[in-house]
Structure 1
């Protein structure tokens, strides 16, 4: 099995990981923001090399790495709206771990004779991963803010609680529609995309369970006003099921069983 050039891959991965780790250290505000921007760019170059280079690969670690990169993209946009947002150190550490993991496990080669629509289908699925990951981060901040309010402590999240709640469910709604489009495309055009019709494997079952969980969360919020810890726990459950669908099943295949099919 041909893999991307290990020298370039590891050089980009280590540079990105080091830049990601800097915000977790005690450096100045401006330096931390600059380091995170550089890490974001190096991470993008690392992903482009692995996906568009001479030997493109894709697997569970690549999916997680793209998810982390999308989360940093969302953070960069929100940082302009909420400069006090305090998640740089956590996201930096997650980004460093994701890029190193993707270098260790590059995944399986992408077939050059696959459907021209396959990249779009993969993009829809990974975009939904990124949006739900952003929702989970915001839900964790919301949960933390609620706990501090209960003990009469200052909210240190950097975003007002109601704004956090609105952002969380906007990400859930957007991710839900992208996930719906991904599942519908797989059901209708599975044979054209992957050379086989829809089948009930672990990835499909976990994806549908995640879809029903997120649908229940959105209906519960719209009809019954679900919010707070109850809504957050349902979101966490759906995100875990979604993680187990593609990344979990591919981890078992690629790492535990060493099968790249």
Structure 2
């Protein structure tokens, strides 16, 4: 049953990505042939509802899969693969909500293929840690908040990559000019100022959640290990990423950071955050084959 859920979830994510890709290719072909190309659907129009409902159904299926594989009978199993899967699930969920307020069809073409791969990772890397303290209410709060922060920042990173590509196309050259369906894809993007506004809204919300993650982590460490701070690689990278995201927000507020400078800071901060848990767990679980409850 679980294997069927893995396969069905990945196939549906991939199917949504293919449908989006074919739509852009069809419109590009019509444009080249001189035909009438339908404008990008406006948020809230009936033509968008089948895709929105389909994406919601996949989110529900992915959520059921995560619940069944992580929260098993009287125990909790978790690892870097589950973290990535949960992170992309939350990212797609946040995207789905935001898509009702912003025209973000282009971002769906980036989010859904990544989610299709991420949802299969726990099946490929099944070695996980059994967390004996999962029933602790402080840990539960810490776990939920941390995953929400990861999800927001993952979506922000994909959003930043999309902005970098769109901004590059504002100054086209023979080497990077978009053609065909890529050109149609870019046409569906909202204005860069709108995308920038959404990006910093995601970062602001993620920063608040990351702050709460660090605070709840201190409380959890005090309750479980008898000391407020455990100085290890995970803590160091988490604090460094918090400082970097804070610097991005301060730079935006006081110095008006925007464009390539802000986007590169966002990507660097997200990579640092990934190293805080996903990177370290990958090394321990896959490279060194070590299982701990830290």
Question: What's the TM-score, normalizing by structure 2?
Answer: 0.79
Aligned pairs for 1:198-209 (under 5 A) are: 198-209=229-240
**227-236 or 209-218, which deviates more:** 209-218
- Indicate yes or no: 2:63 matched with 1:44: yes
Aligned pairs for 1:25-36 (under 5 A) are: 25-26=18-19, 33=52, 35-36=54-55
Counterparts of 2:237 and 2:121, CA distance in 1: 23
1:98 corresponds to which of 77, 102, 118 = 118
The Cα offsets for residues 193-233 of structure 1, whole Å up to 9 and x where unpaired, read as: 45664221110111111111111111111111110000100
**219-228 or 101-110, which deviates more:** 101-110
**Preserved contact between residue 145 and residue 156 of structure 1 (Cα < 8 Å):** no
**8-17 or 21-30, which deviates more:** 21-30
Cα pair distance change 1:189/1:117, threshold 3 Å: closer
Larger radius of gyration: 2
**81-90 or 44-53, which deviates more:** 81-90
**168-177 or 179-188, which deviates more:** 179-188
Aligned pairs for 1:237-248 (under 5 A) are: 237-248=268-279
Give unmatched runs, 5+ long, in structure 1. Answer: 1-7
**77-86 or 204-213, which deviates more:** 77-86
**Preserved contact between residue 22 and residue 35 of structure 1 (Cα < 8 Å):** no
Counterparts of 2:245 and 2:104, CA distance in 1: 30
Match of 2:208 in 1: 177
Count of aligned pairs: 254
Cα pair distance change 1:23/1:170, threshold 3 Å: same
Aligned pairs for 1:16-165 (under 5 A) are: 16-26=9-19, 33=52, 35-54=54-73, 55-83=75-103, 85-106=105-126, 107-111=128-132, 114-151=135-172, 155-165=186-196
| SS of 1:117 mapped into structure 2 | helix
1:192 corresponds to which of 211, 223, 243 = 223
Higher relative contact order (CA 8 A, sep 6+): 2
**236-245 or 33-42, which deviates more:** 33-42
Cα pair distance change 1:157/1:244, threshold 3 Å: farther
Cα pair distance change 1:56/1:124, threshold 3 Å: same
| SS of 1:86 mapped into structure 2 | helix
Deviation at 1:158, TM superposition (A): 2.5
Match of 1:218 in 2: 249
Counterparts of 1:157 and 1:198, CA distance in 2: 47
Cα pair distance change 1:110/1:157, threshold 3 Å: farther
Deviation at 1:179, TM superposition (A): 0.9
Counterparts of 1:228 and 1:148, CA distance in 2: 13
| SS of 1:56 mapped into structure 2 | strand
Question: What's the TM-score, normalizing by structure 1?
Answer: 0.88
Aligned pairs for 1:2-17 (under 5 A) are: 8-17=1-10
**Preserved contact between residue 141 and residue 164 of structure 1 (Cα < 8 Å):** no
| SS of 2:151 mapped into structure 1 | helix
Supply the RMSD in Å over aligned alpha carbons.
2.3
Counterparts of 1:83 and 1:224, CA distance in 2: 28
Give unmatched runs, 5+ long, in structure 2. Answer: 24-47
